[in-house]
Amino acid sequence: MTINVLRTAAVTVCLSFALTQPAWAKVSAEEAAKLKGDLTCVGAEKQGNADGSIPAFSGKWLGVPPQLKFPGTGHYWPDPYADEKPQFTITAQNMAQYANNLTAGQQALLKKYPDTFKIPVYASHRDFRYPDWVCATAEKNATQAEMVDNGEGFIATTGAPPFPIPKTGLELFWNFNNTSLQPWTESSVQQQAVVYPDGNTAWGEVDMRCLSPRGEPTVRRSTDSNEQPFGGVNSWCFVKTILPQRDKGSVLVAGDYFNYAKRPRDAYQYNPGTRRVRQLPSFGFDMPQGPGGFRTVDDDHLFNGSPERYEWKIAGKREIYIPWNSYRIHQSDVTTDELLKNKGHINTDKMRFEKHRVWVLEGNLKPGFRHQYAKRVIYVDEDTWAGVTADEYDSRGQLWRTVLTNWLYAYEIQGYYYGVVGHHDLISGAYLVDRMTMGRGAPKLNEGGMTPAMFTPEAAARAGR
């Protein structure tokens, strides 16, 4: 950054240092002790809210709840709350009563689709916990993690949020941006569908595999890119297109790292038409992706990739209704026809909303940078640092798109999994439902058997031929 007027060289040095180093994230040992006191080990408030609609954190279950039987990965997860019914349903007719606990996007969907969009609200639960090693890692990060390279990277220990007691927007950003405990290996065939206002549907389908060393059970690494093996690697992914037919056989491989300034995303694509692999140096940000190019590359998981184009700030904490404990929508008897039956929005009949406390992360596009979204508001669940819903604004300041995700605690990873997600275009009236595995088999998580060699340009070429 450039400082135009400074009185002394000493001031120049101090101000330049302050502006280019967005955070010293380390907290004191006294403050970190809250992770064993008023806060959970990953930084959430343990207590419930004033009226009891958000319960205190119990963390009574680690892995499979004792009353359930789960055959293992590759099977859909039994629902520990299967017998519960909605306490009430929010509609366009009664939404004013609940407005303080709704996002701008939720209110917009209720207003735009008053006859079909609804929010079924269930009892809130905070029953699952992380393994002890995750807690130990989060406590270590609290006093040791720090950001580097103007916030485009950070140094911490993998497997837990780097900044469990965040003070700045960038710290909150890094907590939710695919850095906490999620699957170590993931393999699934996923369907995608864009439903247009005229009733036409554009289908997509991919065979996806990801290897995320950060989530490897009990193996902790530094995010410092100088540490080997895999020290600076966040994740590798392999995506082979099945549909649409015109793109069938194309293969994308990409690697993400913990420091985008030192090592940007590395992506390659095999084109079956030319039978050649080419590097994709610009893969990311607002590059269109999915059927019809409906969403941006960085829409996945509500945001992924470098934070460099936005100014990030913490816009407080709120109590809102979020999709959570989303077991019903991830069952073998749910069909794509059910999810896509409504005009303009995902069918919420199989969704479960609960009131939770969330962090509100706001990103505003920096001057001189380009993106389709001039502003993003991302709501981050306090218990997990999972991004649960997002509102995206265009250059005129108009709310353009809103996203609803469906997370659940996946027993085999003893952590949370990002499932079916709905991206809604509030201007055009079209919507995309992504990550549907109905009829394709449940995802296989933490099964292992993946190596870095499976995510190279050579691997893309072999898979496409």
Neighbours of 256 (CB within 10 A): 24
Inter-residue contact 11 to 144 (CB < 8 Å): no
Rounded Cα gap, residues 55 and 58, in angstroms: 8
Find out whether the peptide bond into 244 is cis, omega within 30 degrees of 0. Answer: yes
**Dihedrals φ, ψ of 30, to 5°?**
-65, -40
Question: Is 260 a domain residue?
Answer: yes
Question: Is 340 a domain residue?
Answer: yes
pTM given for the model: 0.94
What is the per-residue pLDDT across 349-383, written as a single tens digit (0 to 9) for each? 999 999 999 999 999 999 999 999 999 999 999 99
Amino acid residing at 425? D
Amino acid residing at 371? H
What is the per-residue pLDDT across 91-136, written as a single tens digit (0 to 9) for each? 999 999 999 999 999 999 999 999 999 999 999 999 999 999 999 9
Count of structural domains within the chain: 1
Radius of gyration over every alpha carbon of the chain, rounded to an integer in angstroms: 22
Question: Is 306 a domain residue?
Answer: yes
Question: Is 103 a domain residue?
Answer: yes
Residues in contact with 399: Cβ distance below 8 Å, sequence separation at least 6, in sequence order:
104, 105, 108, 391, 392, 393, 426
* Domain range enclosing 212: 88-126+169-464
**Residue labelled with tokens 């890119």:** 225
> What does the pLDDT read at residue 25?
60
Question: Is 413 a domain residue?
Answer: yes
User: Using CA atoms in the order 62, 65, 70, 73, what is the torsion angle rounded to 10 degrees?
Assistant: -20
pLDDT by 10s per residue, the chain, length 465: 333 333 333 333 333 333 444 445 689 999 999 999 999 999 999 999 999 999 999 999 999 999 999 999 999 999 999 999 999 999 999 999 999 999 999 999 999 999 999 999 999 999 999 999 999 999 999 999 999 999 999 999 999 999 999 999 999 999 999 777 889 999 999 999 999 999 999 999 999 999 999 999 989 999 998 888 899 999 999 999 999 999 999 999 999 999 999 999 999 999 999 999 999 998 999 999 999 899 999 999 999 999 999 999 999 999 999 999 999 999 999 999 999 999 999 999 999 999 999 999 999 999 999 999 999 999 999 999 999 999 999 999 999 999 999 999 999 999 999 999 999 999 999 999 999 999 999 999 999 999 999 999 999 999 987
> What does the pLDDT read at residue 6?
32
Question: Is 150 a domain residue?
Answer: no
CATH number, domain of 270, equals 2.50.20.10
Question: Is 181 a domain residue?
Answer: yes
> What does the pLDDT read at residue 226?
83
Q: Residue 295: left (phi > 0), alpha (psi -120 to 50), or beta? A: beta
Question: Is 26 a domain residue?
Answer: no
User: Using CA atoms in the order 135, 139, 140, 143, what is the torsion angle rounded to 10 degrees?
Assistant: 160
Inter-residue contact 172 to 376 (CB < 8 Å): no
Inter-residue contact 431 to 422 (CB < 8 Å): yes
